[in-house]
Amino acid sequence: MVCKPDVRPSYGDEKEPEAIPLEISQTNYGFRLRSAESGFVEITVTLEDGTREQYQFNTKPLPAVPRVGNYGPKTTEWVRTIVFKSQQGLYAQIEGFDICAVCKTISYEIIRISTSNDAEIVTNEGGKYEPEARALIDQAQPGNRYIFTKIRYRCPGALVDQVGETLSFELK
């Protein structure tokens, strides 16, 4: 990458007093830009013949889909109790962007609602069930509902945690 010493790669509105710096690195296939905040990045490329081309990109974190096994936010059918109990935890995966990336699960809350409508709540740190969460999952019975909420995860390259959709499963 060729940059003149007086040019600072950055993005931001021209009216902003200070532009937001970008981290630019070269890869085997081109360049990777990483911004500290979401927004628009405008890149001006000066070609060898002196002509300039401008490109504008919207930078934003990629959303991930939280899942427990193969079950996610669009699960509408009953989940078999034995299958539910066999899961090891919750994970968040980027889907729909031709990227195979699993994000780091930070924490989530599990709510178990029994058939008698008694509710128990456990907070879990990390993706894999901790002992207290595992004990709550092991109590699963047909007719129970499990809700996974306050799901926080961080995807590769992200600078801040993201919040996932709430999951709700009814067991049979």
**In whole angstroms, what is the distance from residue 6 CA to residue 9 CA?**
10
Answer whether residue 2 is part of any domain.
no
Q: State which residues form the domain around 154.
A: 64-170
Q: What pLDDT, in 10s, does the model give residues 79-104? A: 999 999 999 999 998 887 777 788 99
Residue 140 makes CB contacts below 8 A (sequence gap 6+) with: 81, 84, 85, 112, 146, 171
Q: What is the pLDDT along the chain (172 residues), one digit of tens a residue?
A: 443 333 344 444 444 446 666 777 888 877 777 776 667 777 788 888 888 888 887 777 778 889 998 888 888 889 999 999 999 999 998 887 777 788 999 999 999 999 999 999 999 999 999 999 999 999 999 999 999 999 999 987 777 889 999 999 999 9
Structural domain total, the chain = 2
Question: Are 129 and 149 in a shared domain?
Answer: yes
- Do 18 and 71 lie in a common domain? no
